[in-house]
Amino acid sequence: MLEKGKISGYQMALLLYPTVLATGFLALPTITAQYARNDFWMTGILSSLSGIITVYAASRLHQLYPNETIIQHSERIAGVLPGKILSILFFFYMIEGTGSIIRQYAEFVNGSFLFKTPIILIISSMVLLTCFAVRGGLEIMARCAVIFTPFFILSLFFLLLLFPDLDIKNVFPTLNHGIIPVLQGTIAPQAWNSEMFFMTFFLPCLNNPEKGKKWGIISLCAIVISMTYVNLITLFLLGPDIGNKIYPILIAFRYISIANFIENLDSLLLAMWVVGNFIKISVFFYVAVLTFAETLKLSDYRPVVFPLGILAIILSLWDIPSFSALSTYLMLAVPFEAFIALNLIPILLLFINRLRKKNR
């Protein structure tokens, strides 16, 4: 294990929470509402199944091979050559995912707030900050999460100021179009919940590894509750046509006005977006760097942080040419990629490990 730092289960939970929801709050209501309409609030609850499976797979692999990440024990389970192939594919998924998240972050900031700022400047500043955090190690990232994640969560309570404007009747009629549209809308949240699998890179570094599964479940429960809460608030405020709006939660924050005194809280959403995505990008980039270093059997991952940071910037600009392409990518490609990398591969490794034990 290249990472020598130690964190607690509580810190791991604070790292995982914004890793799933930093982009989920903005993207998922629109994506899920296009399928499930006014029933899209159910998708967050149903998608928890994917998160439970992911947490179980990560915990089980850690029990079988403690002090190792999935990159290290994939070679022991599947063999050297298949394990290397899986590691290389996982690295490409992680570095491409890092680039897409950076681009999503920059598109929101540039399109909603900093209109005249070059997008390359927004991307580069965030990547530079992320590189410093990742180079500092997991302990530095965990301390950042302890500071920033509570502010990320606290800002959600400002949505309660919309209570006088909410119309609970928007939730009806329930399941008017059947359960199939709801299941279709659940596909995207399942991809986001699958990111809980990154805990496999944190479990070997826990001070109390036996509590890793417990804190993973706690983080998942907080994610499901928060996503359902935001879905219901935006549904009660904006009605069932949320699928036609780009950023429903941004509209909700801009709608807040108390006695013409408390208003223009979209700047609060921007702050929430920046700190949440800083944690999310740091986790994605950290996993990508660690995967690269362990695949090549490097003695230290820190020398490759800044070169891979440049690669992430290039991918964020080259891989996604426009905002419309980004929307299509999030709706169609991300669920498929996440299912393979974060659900199918771990379950396949557990299955192969079980077969090898039976043969022995």
Evaluate whether residue 35 is within a structural domain.
Answer: yes
Whole-prediction pTM = 0.93
pLDDT higher than 90, residue 309: yes
Evaluate whether residue 233 is within a structural domain.
Answer: yes
Predicted confidence at residue 172, as pLDDT, reads 85
Evaluate whether residue 158 is within a structural domain.
Answer: yes
Evaluate whether residue 355 is within a structural domain.
Answer: no
Predicted confidence at residue 3, as pLDDT, reads 75
pLDDT higher than 80, residue 2: no
Q: Report the percentage of the chain scoring pLDDT > 70.
A: 99
Q: What is the mean pLDDT of the chain?
A: 87
- The per-residue pLDDT for range 222-267, each reduced to its tens digit, is 999 999 999 999 999 888 888 788 888 888 888 887 767 677 777 7
Mean pLDDT on 259-276:
78
Name the helix (H) or strand (E) containing 152: helix 138-154
For residue 8, what is the DSSP state? Answer: -
- Residue 11 token pair: 């810190």
What's the rounded Cα separation, in Å, for the pair 92 and 223? 26
Evaluate whether residue 77 is within a structural domain.
Answer: yes
- Residue 126 token pair: 């965030």
In the Cβ-directed half-sphere of 41, how many Cα atoms lie within 13 Å?
Answer: 22
CATH classification at residue 89? 1.20.1740.10
Evaluate whether residue 30 is within a structural domain.
Answer: yes
Predicted confidence at residue 101, as pLDDT, reads 92
Predicted confidence at residue 252, as pLDDT, reads 85
Predicted confidence at residue 360, as pLDDT, reads 65
Evaluate whether residue 4 is within a structural domain.
Answer: no
Evaluate whether residue 354 is within a structural domain.
Answer: no
- Residue 33 token pair: 């509402």
Asked whether the beta carbons of 72 and 295 are under 8 A apart, the reply is no
Domain with 172, as residue range(s), is: 9-346
Map tokens 């006695």 to a residue.
259
Task: Count other Cβ atoms within 10 Å, centred on residue 359.
Answer: 6
Asked whether the beta carbons of 195 and 19 are under 8 A apart, the reply is yes
SS3 247: coil
Could you give the number of structural domains in the chain?
1
Asked whether the beta carbons of 290 and 138 are under 8 A apart, the reply is no
Q: CA–CA distance from 267 to each of 31, 116, 129, 230, 356 (Å)?
A: 24, 17, 21, 18, 55
∠ CA 355-357-359, nearest 5°, is: 70
Q: Which band of pLDDT confidence, cut at 50, 70 and 90, is reported for residue 76?
A: confident
- The per-residue pLDDT for range 79-117, each reduced to its tens digit, is 888 889 999 999 999 999 999 999 989 988 888 788 888
Predicted confidence at residue 5, as pLDDT, reads 82
Predicted confidence at residue 1, as pLDDT, reads 66
pLDDT higher than 70, residue 13: yes
pLDDT higher than 90, residue 23: no
Predicted confidence at residue 221, as pLDDT, reads 94
- The per-residue pLDDT for range 153-173, each reduced to its tens digit, is 888 888 888 888 888 888 888
Q: Report the percentage of the chain scoring pLDDT > 90.
A: 34
